Structure 1
């Protein structure tokens, strides 16, 4: 699963999103909204501890290359972690995840702006349809900080995913993730001290387990988005929405109503179409090149 082909990148992202759903379940079970900065700090700390054994065994020629970018990504991660806790404390798991999975829409739009990836009428339609899906899913009772936090999470996650392409190509995924989390420690620690909250032992255990899942999801993003065009693989992110619906039903007895199904369809289907179209175009291009070489 190198992530250098479209199929392997999609598989990596699907597995990563399964880990992201498990992480969301653990965060929701922790119910740490009263000590959100404490919870975030311990997640960063635990992620550093989990990653360290994999990093110290490898020699890196330029260990601090791209430090500024790692600093930005690490502190953006702190923001996403805070927004995640707030949104999951106020919204059902499936509803929150439906909003989270507008991230691929943001990824496509931002990639068109900053990386000059081609944006078509179909992509515009997918963006409009996706945000209509969010409006269908979010009932009036959900309008508030939970909804805003979920949308903010999706946007910042999209920015962080796209910044992956700017990372030094000679750095391993684990090394990059380690540097980013070390850069996040000062801010998360300062916020935790300022907050002065308290976590139970059970919440600390959940934070540790969530950190392991976060590491696996982050690695999935690092590998999945590094070598291929974002529009070709971003629909794989929506596998996590299916995982979240099932987890919400099993773990939290959440109902699956018509608005959730319709809204999810408005978000997912256009992007699946875009992904399949781009994959077909890529295969046709390769066949044409192969045919030209034979001639």
Structure 2
């Protein structure tokens, strides 16, 4: 399920890049959130028999939803200027950055290995992107903005995991996105895009919903420490999609960078799993 979810996420990014120059960002994201909310509402009604799921932490849900919208906007703007593979490479740094930031926020000492893994992850991303090869390197600030907002998004998501159900969290993120973007929509409303563009946009929105639902389902059967390494499969999926749809050249440096990012992320996940297991053993001792 996790591998299939990453394929859907790569499909989402590819579709967003395909329509990025034809459909305004606010309108594209509004359509995506409408479809996500509709999918979630149907699931909530079938599983819980109500239209609105319970939210024990409404304040955190709103904050998470705003971070979700911000990340999506940065992602859409990123895909106007960088390839799907390059964008995915930056975003795959998130787990390593989260582990270091959480340690800081918890006032814990960051182990030297964490810093090494962060450095390896950054090196891998630079190898994939090679900023000096871009004529407009400042555009890379968009994916970096997405990385920062997504980092805090995941930290808030982790805190909500013990409070509200994944389906509830997914529903309210989509609903808040619809509400926020509906306020801005009249200014950016446009129907000039072709039927093909709208079809691709709808396909991307469905892919996003399917990916999130599959990922939520996967977390019901396995812990994050087991699933996270599989999330890095999105990198080769995204690179392949960029080559297939946009004829984006793939060279040896791209594969080296992908390997470094996957290695750093996987080792970091295993390290976190071991630390939690050792802590649990001490509590039970």
Task: Give the TM bin, normalised by the shorter chain.
Answer: 0.7 to 0.9
Instruction: State how far apart, in whole Å, the 2-side matches of 1:234 and 1:182 are.
Output: 26
Deviations 1:232-257 (A, max 9, x none): 75443321111112222222222111
Deviations 1:207-260 (A, max 9, x none): 222222222333456567799986775443321111112222222222111332
1:262 equivalent to 2:256? Answer: yes
Q: How many residues align?
A: 279
One of 244, 249, 254 as aligned partner of 1:250: 244
Instruction: Indicate how the Cα distance of structure 1 residues 158 and 219 shifts in structure 2: closer, same or farther if over 3 A, else same.
Output: farther
Alignment of 1:176-255 (within 5 A): 176-198=169-191, 199-219=193-213, 234-255=228-249
TM-score, with normalisation over the residues of structure 1? 0.79
- 8 Å CA contact retained: 2:78, 2:139: yes
Instruction: State how far apart, in whole Å, the 1-side matches of 2:206 and 2:69 are.
Output: 16
For structure 2, list consecutive stretches of 5 or more residues without a partner in the other structure.
Answer: none
Deviations 1:19-60 (A, max 9, x none): 211111211222346511111111111211222211123147
- 8 Å CA contact retained: 1:33, 1:89: no
Partner of 2:36: 47
Alignment of 1:68-79 (within 5 A): 68-79=59-70
Partner of 1:146: 139
Instruction: State how far apart, in whole Å, the 1-side matches of 2:109 and 2:213 are.
Output: 26
1:131 equivalent to 2:122? Answer: yes
Partner of 1:7: none
2:127 counterpart SS class: helix
Instruction: State how far apart, in whole Å, the 1-side matches of 2:149 and 2:216 are.
Output: 15
Instruction: Indicate how the Cα distance of structure 1 residues 192 and 106 shifts in structure 2: closer, same or farther if over 3 A, else same.
Output: farther
Instruction: Indicate how the Cα distance of structure 1 residues 19 and 246 shifts in structure 2: closer, same or farther if over 3 A, else same.
Output: same
Partner of 1:107: 98
1:161 equivalent to 2:150? Answer: no
For structure 1, list consecutive stretches of 5 or more residues without a partner in the other structure.
Answer: 1-10
Instruction: Indicate how the Cα distance of structure 1 residues 146 and 233 shifts in structure 2: closer, same or farther if over 3 A, else same.
Output: farther
Instruction: Indicate how the Cα distance of structure 1 residues 186 and 29 shifts in structure 2: closer, same or farther if over 3 A, else same.
Output: same
Stretch deviating more after TM superposition (257-266 or 76-85)? 257-266
- 8 Å CA contact retained: 2:167, 2:216: no
Instruction: Indicate how the Cα distance of structure 1 residues 218 and 146 shifts in structure 2: closer, same or farther if over 3 A, else same.
Output: farther
Aligned-residue CA RMSD (Å): 3.4
- 8 Å CA contact retained: 1:95, 1:260: no
2:250 counterpart SS class: coil
1:89 counterpart SS class: coil
Instruction: Indicate how the Cα distance of structure 1 residues 268 and 117 shifts in structure 2: closer, same or farther if over 3 A, else same.
Output: farther
TM-score, with normalisation over the residues of structure 2? 0.82
Partner of 1:96: 87
Instruction: State how far apart, in whole Å, the 2-side matches of 1:195 and 1:120 are.
Output: 47
- 8 Å CA contact retained: 1:66, 1:168: no
